[in-house]
Structure 1
Amino acid sequence: MTELSRLIPAEWRVIYNNPLQTAGDVREFRMEGDAAVSFPMGRMRLESTRDAAEGQAANLVFWCPEQFPANLAVTWDFWPVREPGLAIVFFCAIGKEGQDLFDPRLANRSGIYDQYHHGDIDAFHISYFRRRYPEERQFHTCNLRKSYGFHLVAQGADPIPDALDAVGPYRMLLMKQGTSVLFAVNDLVLFSWQDDGTTWGPLLGGGKLGFRQMAPLIAEYGKLQVYAP
């Protein structure tokens, strides 16, 4: 049992387990944006194949194909490899009218940020390794935002070292239970927030999970697990 396991209700069970070790493990994942997926260390490496000078056009989102329930806990291993850049996890992502995230009636998405917070989807997202811009590299935070919209609803300190000093893996945990959202790295809870279902829009239910990176970040991921009641 890991230290993080104590934060997940004892009665919850693993409903999805993906080691993220080989191309076969992500065969059904969906990439939005131009990016390379490789496994040089036996774990999933993501990096943009476009020049970071192209701005938002160089960024990516890599979606897990599964539809997950409203109450869930997600854990994964994270390694920052090269900076600058920014890493985000999306969850509870769904069309604004309840469509599946991959419904062809939804507008095309290509990694450009506005498409995810002011497009035709609703989602939570946590930016947890923010090193893209100078001000982010001076003061490290993890931010929880709720969309539709660009609502910053919770914030906590980022304990992950810069890539040059990182040893990893850093075990990440996000948990959504009822109206609460919790985020932790290793055994440290960074924030816990309650959604009133009004101030920032209606409560979000089940949906998709995805990893986003801002170029030129290179990062690696492993041991993706999802728990649910």
Structure 2
Amino acid sequence: MKPNCCIQHLNNVAQELHKVDGPVRILDLKGMQGINVTSIHSRIRLKEHNLNQERGTVSLWFFSLEDLTLRYQRSCMMANNPFSGRIPFLSDQDNPNDCDSAHFAMFFEYGWHTQFVAKWYRGPLWPDKIDPPQKAMVTSEKCSFLKDRWYQVTLSWDKPKEELRLYYNGILSGVSDRFKKAFYFEQIQNGLIAGSPMLCHGPIAFFDEVLDADSVYQNYRQNAVDYDPEMEANLRHLYLGQNSQPFTWQPDGDWTEKLNLSLKEPDHLESFHLQGYTDAPSILSGEGLLVETPQIPQQSDSLENQVYLWTREVFEGDLYVELDFKPLRPNGLSLLMLQAIGMSREDTLTDYDPPTCGNMDTVHSSDTRNYHWEFYREMNDVRNDLASGCFLKNPFCWPLGYGTLPAPLETNQWHQLKFLQNDDRLIGAINDQIVFDARDSSNTNSGSVYNCGHVVLRCMVNTKVLFRNLRILNGQTAFREFSRQA
């Protein structure tokens, strides 16, 4: 049954230009028309909406005039427009670019985390999104839009159930936090405003019901003018974990085992340098390494209650890591830092005072180069209705990979992590299903392809995970070490 559309905007743009302030133009792409504002001061005003109702859905058609994806940010880029790091889609703020001041906003961010946001509260993403009360918001990662192609973004809300959902071209790409205690929604104060010179805004429809996934998909397919089955398959793989490939690689004679710890013996903890909340790790004899951080909300005053475990050894060359892990309760987040070393390839732990903080800065905001793979993610600021994983190059915060598995990783069951770096190719797999298969490059203004460093395990608050059977191998290097002096 076709869903009941209660409010429509921009269906016939030639008749709706009275809703526009400032210079604009009408563009036609593949038979669908939209409005492109040609000034940062232009506004498309939508006086009617239903976002203050208990339940509903809104769908927006748009195309971007340039590829919309991650980009490097510098303060000079905000000299005239302090909000240039975001592209607004809808907002109740008179300046739609000022998303922080809006009680409701949908926008794209150029940063790696997160890239598309719908929020129902006034304030910035950080740290407001994690500080109490927990804000009503839903986000999506690994989000990019190709130029000159119509996309449909759909947002549904059910305030009594405290559930928000995001869809791209009919495919579910984001779900609000399933571990929330209560969502804080703000009332939208005015009409809605759209307008960015980067976008051409097409038809916008509001529905007075929560459309389910099938209805959202049918609504997209019935109105799409440039449906692309290959793009849909990619979205389904990226956001639903469909058609994942098996990890079948096995080390051969060119690989040398450098570390093999069962993590079941009391002295195995001595193989690590501990940083941050050092009470978290302990050895359960015969079982493994237990890492248990405080069961408290992730917010500004709890960020030090997190722990790093650095291997004392440095590993050089191509890298292979195996690790078994068993989540003992839902929620939390565990990640690996790989090839972790100083900016000039110096050893961070021995050349300087070792870091002591428990927060995330050592991962992505310090002078420690590393790749980081969030392999178990159930925090309140990531998608946690299924298993997702992200892979970045730091300290450049350069996303190299993202992927999902169809369901959350089960608690009280063992899972196996495998990571392989073979020159510039980097693969991460869980239970022999590839989560990401990425390529790094020395020619992207993010430094060289890393090939030397520590392996570091990091666990955030609310984590209780048992680890065992850590195995690390290196591939052959082009050179042979002739001698060494301490």
TM-score, normalised via structure 2 length: 0.43
Q: Rate the CA distance shift 1:28–1:139 in 2: closer, same or farther, 3 A.
A: closer
Matches within 5 A, 1:21-170: 21-34=264-277, 35-40=279-284, 42-48=287-293, 51-52=296-297, 54-105=301-352, 108-133=355-380, 135-158=382-405, 161-162=408-409, 165-170=410-415
Task: Structure 1 unaligned segments of length 5 or more: list them.
Answer: none
Q: Give the number of the structure whose alpha-carbon radius of gyration is greater.
A: 2
CA distance in 2, matches of 1:69, 1:97: 14
Q: Rate the CA distance shift 1:191–1:51 in 2: closer, same or farther, 3 A.
A: closer
CA deviations over 1:153-174 (Å, ceiling 9, x no partner): 1111146735xx4343111100
Deviation at 1:99, TM superposition (A): 1.4
Corresponding letter in the other structure for 2:449 = L
Deviation at 1:70, TM superposition (A): 2.4
Richer in strand (by share):
1
- CA RMSD, aligned part only? 2.2
Preserved contact between residue 51 and residue 216 of structure 1 (Cα < 8 Å): yes
Preserved contact between residue 68 and residue 206 of structure 1 (Cα < 8 Å): yes
Deviation at 1:138, TM superposition (A): 3.0
Regions of 4+ moved over 3 Å: 49-53, 158-162
Preserved contact between residue 129 and residue 158 of structure 1 (Cα < 8 Å): no
CA deviations over 1:161-203 (Å, ceiling 9, x no partner): 35xx434311110011101111111221121111111213221
In structure 2, what is the equivalent of residue 175 of structure 1?
A: 420
Q: Rate the CA distance shift 1:128–1:159 in 2: closer, same or farther, 3 A.
A: farther
1:13 maps onto 2:256 in alignment: yes
2:443 to 181, 198, 203: 198
Preserved contact between residue 337 and residue 363 of structure 2 (Cα < 8 Å): no
Q: Rate the CA distance shift 1:139–1:51 in 2: closer, same or farther, 3 A.
A: closer
CA distance in 1, matches of 2:437, 2:295: 36
Matched pairs, number: 224
Considering Cα pairs closer than 8 Å and 6+ residues apart, tell me whether 1 or 2 has the greater RCO. Answer: 1
| Percent of residue pairs identical | 20
CA distance in 2, matches of 1:80, 1:187: 18
Task: Structure 2 unaligned segments of length 5 or more: list them.
Answer: 1-245, 476-486
Preserved contact between residue 31 and residue 62 of structure 1 (Cα < 8 Å): yes
CA distance in 1, matches of 2:344, 2:424: 20
TM-score, normalised via structure 1 length: 0.88
Deviation at 1:135, TM superposition (A): 4.4
Q: Rate the CA distance shift 1:116–1:141 in 2: closer, same or farther, 3 A.
A: same
